[in-house]
Amino acid sequence: MPTNAELFARASRSIPGGVNSPVRAFRSVGGTPRFVARAQGPYFWDAEDKRYIDYIGSWGPAILGHAHPEVVRAVQEAAVHGLSYGAPTEAEIEIAEMLIARMPSIEQVRLVSSGTEATMTAIRLARGATGRNKIIKFEGCYHGHADSLLVKAGSGLLTFGNPTSAGVPPEFVAHTIVLDYNDIAGVKTAFAQHGKDIACIIVEPIAGNMNMIKPIAGFLETLRSECTAHGALLIFDEVMTGFRVGPQGVQGLTGIKPDITTLAKVIGGGMPIGAFGASAKIMSNIAPLGGVYQAGTLSGNPVAVAAGITTLKLLAKPGFYEDLSKRTRTLCDGLVERARAHKIPFSADCVGGMFGVYFSDKVPTTLAEVSASNIEMFKVFFHGMLDEGVYFAPSAYEAGFVSSTHDDSVIAATITAADKVFAKLNA
């Protein structure tokens, strides 16, 4: 049986960095990535057959726990009938109708194969529909790896951004305005200066890619009112929050309706899927109806759609989100209580089945506050928990995820493990 270290060494010869997505490589916490052999419910087992309680859940999709029997059965049954056709199916209508029925702002939806594709197309759609070029994004929000979205703030207020990736020409991000999350004044200034050129704002309505950061009162409301006042479109990137924080995403929780919504992660139940949706009027700009081009060989893949439909059906069970929220709250409260007992500066916050843990006395509301938390202490905590068989995200800049299979005993075991790790941190 090869060890994790042996697999990592072998992987590093054939795959850059040994991984197929960078955060998996443990670069920001150090150490050896765990190679997953199998998973079930709240657990996965690594190559050395060590069991972990998993708080990543594939970065969100595993909201029903790993390998949910009904989802697995749906995948098996779909696979028997063929893996992909490149022609429409009835199941695609069914999942479209489910998404439309549940997401307040969506009248029509198109399926793609990833969150990146969904956000990339949402931006193109907003530009095509408005005939404008500039977009606003917020530093620390992640919207996948499309060129114009791989950008951080330039120095000084309201400069256009700088690419955060090699291989992205500055010209490609020249139309991207980067602002601070929760900076209401910054949004107003940007619209005052560039209002007639701004096609859209794209935002994670609860941020989950700079640890978890909630919008402050008035932030999303301001985005909505500024977009409406200036004829720009508001894009809620609910790739992470959709069906994760509640049955209708953040738009259901807040009552604020975006013009365009992007989805992925949970709606595929672990299979590769993404979607973008809007009013029928906005969606009429998409090919073959309109001039905004978008396509995909595997879009609406029948096996992924089967997993998605079954997942969405199971999420509609009465009380699902109340129960999930309660479990997540119990976890956060328990961690905070144990940290306090050991005098560790620590806070936690959650919404639905998503949470953040921070080595700081108070819950951050900005990226700068996340960066100012005790990241060194997080690293020690992360490895301590890993030793205890609990797998948190391998970065202080990521959120965590609870599934419906994280029952009372799993959460209690997590808090007991954290108690030991906090005690060591204190010593």
Rounded-to-integer distance, Cα 78 and Cα 104, Å: 29
- Look up 237 and say whether it is catalytic: yes
Nearer to ligand PLP, 109 or 240 (CB): 240
Which amino acid type is present at position 266?
Answer: V
Nearer to ligand PLP, 124 or 143 (CB): 143
Q: Give the footprint of ligand PLP on this chain (CB under 6 A).
A: 114-116, 119, 142-144, 204, 208-209, 237, 239-240, 264, 274
CB of 193 to ligand PLP, least distance (A): 27
Which residue of the set 183, 237, 259, 349 is catalytic? 237
* HSE-up (13 A, CA, CB side) for residue 216: 10
Residue closest to ligand PLP, measured at CB:
115
112: alpha, beta or left? (left if phi > 0; alpha if psi -120 to 50): beta
CB of 273 to ligand PLP, least distance (A): 9
Which amino acid type is present at position 237?
Answer: D
In 14-150, the DSSP E strands lie at 36-40, 43-46, 51-54, 108-112, 134-139
CB of 402 to ligand PLP, least distance (A): 16
Instruction: Enumerate residues 6+ apart whose C-beta is below 8 A from 158.
Output: 177, 179, 186, 189, 190, 193
Nearer to ligand PLP, 92 or 398 (CB): 398
Angle, vertex CA 139, rays to CA 136 and CA 145, nearest 5: 80
29: alpha, beta or left? (left if phi > 0; alpha if psi -120 to 50): alpha
Strand 198-203 and strand 134-139: pairing?
Answer: parallel
- Look up 46 and say whether it is catalytic: no
- Look up 358 and say whether it is catalytic: no
Nearer to ligand PLP, 266 or 425 (CB): 266
Which residue of the set 43, 52, 55, 142 is catalytic? 142
Which residue of the set 265, 321, 358, 391 is catalytic? 265
CB of 81 to ligand PLP, least distance (A): 25
Nearer to ligand PLP, 204 or 349 (CB): 204
CB of 230 to ligand PLP, least distance (A): 24
Residues 292 and 129: beta-carbon distance below 8 Å: yes
Rounded-to-integer distance, Cα 362 and Cα 180, Å: 19
Q: Which residues are the active-site residues?
A: 142, 237, 265
